[in-house]
Amino acid sequence: MVNLQTQLAGCKMASPLVLASGFLGLDWASLDRVAKSGAAAVTTKSCNLEGRDGYSNPTVLANENYMLNAIGLANAGIEHEIDEISTFKKKSQAVIIGSIFESSPEKFAEVAKRISTAKPHLIELDLSCPHLGGKGFENYKDFASDPKSISEVVKATKKATKIPIFAKLSPNVPNIGELAKAAESAGANGITAINTAGGMLISADFQKPILSNKYGGLSGPAIKPIALKSVYQIYESVKIPIIGTGGVATGEDAIEMLLAGAAAVGIGTATYHRGIEAFKLIESEMQHWMEKNKSGSVKELIGKAHE
């Protein structure tokens, strides 16, 4: 019998499988349903202080190879999120990760302080959405690419809460290891990698971009090589745990992410392709692979590709 247990900053998990932010996690009921369907941890949809309307349709395009979205981090604000997390914790034993974003280190800290009242197990700093912009968020892109900005956000949020902080990083940078190191040095307890890659689609028939925002975030199988490279580089740069996410659709994909250095594996677009049963299917496939390859535990697989 293989051991799928893992840990993230002291949080014990029955398996490495984590629901990524933005997928099936709009309220406590959907998060609970995902947890009951096999996710050992669930991440909320990213929220900020006042909430955001997001972009107008079309916002999502998908096929068997990828998903491209520009939803614009639409959310109802921190007070709504506090209620949803609080209710979830009364209903479920699964680990819950509260995802937050804002336009400045000071506002990040305020959201972290307020979300902490709901006592999520971890807080994820969404520093790297590739399509966020608009009034008040003109400088948001700096958080994705500038070590100093990442450090300032992490330091500010660490002062505002005692809950472990994970920094979610972008692949759209020259050196993701450098950014992870900046987050670790500032006090981050872990890294989530990667956020979606930047992308767009143009209609030949209409001769214009398809998404209303023009640019979007690319996820799904097409970005798995980018995610693996990023996790591999981060593992060589820091000692804190990594949630590896990006393109994981099968049990073997999840194993590869562990081998690259991830302690846990985020699942997102796979829920579109395989449904909510993706977690149980991927877990079963992981168990089969581990038994076939005489691997006894997740712990012994983490980072093994570096040997």
| Active-site residue set | 129
Cα angle 247, 209, 100 (rounded to 5 degrees) comes to 50
Which positions ≥6 away from 143 have C-beta within 8 Å? 127, 128, 149, 150, 153
CB 298 within 8 Å of CB 5 = yes
- Closest alpha carbon to 96 in 45, 48, 43, 167: 43
Angle at 67 between CA 66 and CA 71, to 5 degrees: 165
Continuous H helices in the chain: 28-36, 78-91, 105-115, 141-145, 147-160, 176-185, 224-235, 251-260, 270-274, 278-292
